[in-house]
Amino acid sequence: SRAEALLKLQNIESAYGPIKAIRGVSLQVRQGEIATVLGSNGAGKTTILKTISGIIDPRKGSVNFQGQDITARDPARIVQLGLSHVPEGREVFPLLSVRDNLLMGAYTRRDRDGVARDIEQVFQYFPILRERAGQDAGLLSGGQQQMLAISRALMAEPALILLDEPSLGLSPKLTKEIFEIVVRINRERGTTILLVEQNANMALNAADYGYVLENGRIVMEDRCDRLREKDDIKEFYLGMK
């Protein structure tokens, strides 16, 4: 059975002008798990994450985090509550060094020793970032920027990380590496993760619980070990053979 819900979405509807992107989504992310929302291009995955982190205000429904209603709160406040968003396309600060990008992630923290320890820990997860610590982040490859974006989110000591398509534009080898570290972060730090992905194979292997999104609606949910066995789902909703 699943642990208690850390994040709870109830009947969320979000739209861009007349375009309804999310049409009544309810989902839960339990304390300590990796949950995933799977779906094809345009299904509404990114819109769900933006609604959770306060970038988009929903037309209907509520977002509850750690027992608090955070619906449509200011995004900066939501980060302070322990919820970090790693957006699609990474969005590192290109003209700041790798190390300064990491420090930006920790800007609300006052525990210098803790910050230094966490920088050391992300360098252990992603050794290439240690080698590039003094370089401008804009000079990193796409995969390295993804590593930095995840690391910067970690520096805020979040209880929950929202991860938008970490595999986007990366080679299969690099995707596999990043997923392995995401699972390690979850296991070692106990960080709860909500991952949205088009790469259903990778996500179903990494996550504990999965939701399948189609046209802004959840059409199926189950434990990932069960979803992996359902061939028809893979074929119809996830484009896998």
Q: What residues make contact with ligand ATP under the rule CB under 6 A?
A: 16, 19, 21, 39, 41-47, 88, 198
d(CA 6, CA 32): 9
Minimum CB separation from ligand ATP for residue 213, in Å? Answer: 7
CB-wise, 13 or 100, nearer to ligand ATP? Answer: 13
Tokens describing residue 66: 């750690």
CB-wise, 19 or 76, nearer to ligand ATP? Answer: 19
- Which residue, 108, 118, 55, 62, is CA-closest to 85? 55
Minimum CB separation from ligand ATP for residue 43, in Å? Answer: 4
Minimum CB separation from ligand ATP for residue 238, in Å? Answer: 12
CB-wise, 29 or 212, nearer to ligand ATP? Answer: 212
Minimum CB separation from ligand ATP for residue 198, in Å? Answer: 6
d(CA 193, CA 158): 10
Q: How far apart, in Å, are the Cα atoms of 182 and each of 9, 10, 35, 209, 237?
A: 23, 27, 12, 15, 24
d(CA 132, CA 125): 14
CB-wise, 9 or 122, nearer to ligand ATP? Answer: 9
CB-wise, 44 or 105, nearer to ligand ATP? Answer: 44
Minimum CB separation from ligand ATP for residue 41, in Å? Answer: 4
Q: Are 95 and 139 in contact (CB under 8 A)?
A: no
Give the rounded distance of the alpha carbon of 149 from its chain centre. Answer: 11
CB-wise, 91 or 131, nearer to ligand ATP? Answer: 91
CB-wise, 51 or 101, nearer to ligand ATP? Answer: 51
Length of the chain measured in residues:
241
- Which residue, 37, 40, 73, 41, is CA-closest to 57? 73
- Which residue, 34, 38, 6, is CA-closest to 198? 38
Tokens describing residue 142: 């796409």
Minimum CB separation from ligand ATP for residue 190, in Å? Answer: 27
Q: Are 159 and 128 in contact (CB under 8 A)?
A: no
d(CA 178, CA 150): 9
Minimum CB separation from ligand ATP for residue 81, in Å? Answer: 23
